[in-house]
């Protein structure tokens, strides 16, 4: 059996059962990393879909689509076609930060920029958004 690094379990704030096991027997490091990426894509799709459904009701908006992709410098984006894309690594964040990103992107359906009305909209759903934003940016 090959060992690649150490084993870790990421605590996401609840007692979710661990349903996925990735065996590393006989696989190269590249193959293992590919499987981990696939796992992150799958879990990110599931989590962002669930969280988006919760917050879109509160905001009264529906995105045209939700996609997961590799993004080098952002956690999410929303285009003028109301298509939201989330970074596949979003699932590695605590749920309170995932929720902030989801609300942030859903609010872009109303406001494509970061003007005052955009931030007011976020604040109406998530009064502690500034704290979450600081946590996400690593300054808290």
DSSP state of 73: S
Predicted local confidence at residue 29, as pLDDT: 82
Predicted local confidence at residue 132, as pLDDT: 97
* Whole-number Å distance between alpha carbons of 82 and 62: 8
Domains delineated in the chain? 29-136 (3.30.2010.10)
* CA angle, 120 then 91 then 97, to 5°: 25
What is the mean pLDDT for each group of 10 consecutive residues in the chain (140 residues)?
Answer: 46 59 73 88 96 94 96 94 97 96 97 95 97 86
């Amino acid at each position: 059996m090959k060992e690649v690094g150490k084993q870790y379990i990421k605590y996401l704030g609840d007692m979710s059962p661990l349903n996925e096991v990735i065996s590393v027997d006989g696989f190269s490091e590249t193959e293992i990393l590919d499987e981990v990426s696939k796992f992150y894509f799958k879990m990110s799709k599931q989590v962002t879909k669930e969280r988006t459904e919760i917050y879109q009701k509160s905001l009264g908006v529906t995105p045209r689509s939700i996609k997961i992709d590799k993004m080098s410098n952002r956690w999410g984006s929303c285009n003028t076609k109301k298509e939201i894309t989330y970074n596949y690594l979003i699932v590695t964040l605590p749920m309170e930060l995932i929720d902030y990103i989801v609300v942030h992107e859903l609010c872009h359906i109303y406001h494509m920029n970061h003007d005052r009305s955009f931030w007011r909209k976020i604040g109406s759903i998530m009064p502690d958004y500034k704290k979450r934003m600081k946590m996400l940016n690593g300054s808290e």
